[in-house]
Amino acid sequence: MVNVLRAVGLSVMLTVLGWIGPAHAGFVMGAASLTDALQSAGEAFEKETGSTLTFSFAGSAVIARQVAQGAPAGVVALADAAWMDYLVTQSAVEEGTVVLLASNELVLVTPAGDAAPLALTPEAIAARLGAGRFAIAEPETIPAGRYGKQALETLGLWSKVSARLAPMEHVRVALASIARGEVPLGLVYATDAQVEPRVAVVARIPATAHKPIEIPMALTPQADETARAFYAYLQTPTGQAVLARYGFKVSGL
């Protein structure tokens, strides 16, 4: 079974364990929204190859900063091209290895008990929110939040939610808050909603309302043989099929 590390306080943990320097064997760092898909792909890869992978998941901003500061990842997969561009400028990823792994969509979700479809109008949003708050990943730095803010501004809905935001550390935290019924409405990736049975999709955000949600992947200069093999595996039809099963948009499927 794949090993999963918490990325919170990761730099401290890496120092304690003496991992600063050469990459930990098969170490993959990924955006929180990729958790289920990458772990599933990792399990299939391990069965096929006999190798062992270790994963760490967090918001793309956290992952990118950790990698830039020397976290010994071999593979990095983010939910935002801008943060991958940052790693390129920092020479933190291997030249020529940035590839488009998949893409995603945005949806509005509610706790599963309130699954009536929601019109994308200010009046409908206000009525569904009531006195509650709107869960979203932090809209200034976290990709899901930035895409969401852009989409809601384009649709003329941002003014109805901006004063009622419940900004979260990353999109999976927002998802959990909605699933627990702490908020009546929120915005997450379509792939997140697919793996959480306690939420219901009540509206899909048009792709034309925001920049394309691209998920780039790259190798770091210290990537070991196992990391390089997994990087290649994710680009095969088998690896892409795993991502598609979790709702990601992939080429050819």
pTM as predicted: 0.84
Bridge partners for 111 per DSSP: 199
Nearest to 184 by CA among 133, 148, 218: 133
Q: Are residues 92 and 156 in the same domain?
A: no
Q: Could you report the per-residue pLDDT of 112-134, keeping only the tens digit for each? A: 988 999 999 999 999 999 999 99
In this model, does residue 15 exceed pLDDT 80? Answer: no
Q: Are residues 111 and 193 in the same domain?
A: yes
Q: Are residues 172 and 233 in the same domain?
A: no
Q: Is residue 209 part of a domain?
A: no
Provide the annotated binding site.
33, 60, 144, 171, 189
Bridge partners for 100 per DSSP: 216
Q: Is residue 150 part of a domain?
A: yes
Q: Are residues 37 and 80 in the same domain?
A: yes
Q: Is residue 250 part of a domain?
A: no
| Cα–Cα distance, 162 to 85 (Å, whole number) | 28
Q: Is residue 178 part of a domain?
A: yes
Q: Which residues of 192-219 are buried (b: 16+ CB within 10 A; e: fewer)?
A: bbbebeebbbbbebeeebbeebbbbbbb
What is the rounded (10 degree) CA torsion for 90, 143, 194, 178? Answer: 130
Q: Could you report the per-residue pLDDT of 206-249, keeping only the tens digit for each? A: 999 999 999 999 999 999 999 999 999 999 999 999 999 999 99
| Cα–Cα distance, 231 to 117 (Å, whole number) | 39
Q: Are residues 152 and 227 in the same domain?
A: no
Q: Mean of the pLDDT values across residues 32-38? A: 95
Question: Helices 225-233 and 35-49: crossing angle, nearest 10°?
Answer: 110
In this model, does residue 22 exceed pLDDT 70? Answer: no
| Cα–Cα distance, 90 to 194 (Å, whole number) | 34
Provide the annotated binding site for molybdate.
33, 60, 144, 171, 189
The helix/strand/coil state of 147 is helix
Q: Is residue 252 part of a domain?
A: no
Q: Are residues 36 and 75 in the same domain?
A: yes
Q: Is residue 253 part of a domain?
A: no
Q: Are residues 132 and 153 in the same domain?
A: yes
Q: Are residues 139 and 72 in the same domain?
A: no
Q: Are residues 84 and 30 in the same domain?
A: yes
Q: Are residues 70 and 31 in the same domain?
A: yes
Domain span including residue 168:
106-204
Q: How many domains, the chain?
A: 2
Q: Is residue 229 part of a domain?
A: yes
Where do runs of H (alpha helix) occur along the chain? 10-17, 35-49, 60-68, 81-89, 122-129, 143-154, 158-161, 171-179, 190-194, 225-233, 237-245
| Cα–Cα distance, 119 to 185 (Å, whole number) | 13
CATH number at residue 27: 3.40.190.10
Q: Is residue 60 part of a domain?
A: yes
Q: Are residues 69 and 141 in the same domain?
A: no
Q: Are residues 119 and 179 in the same domain?
A: yes
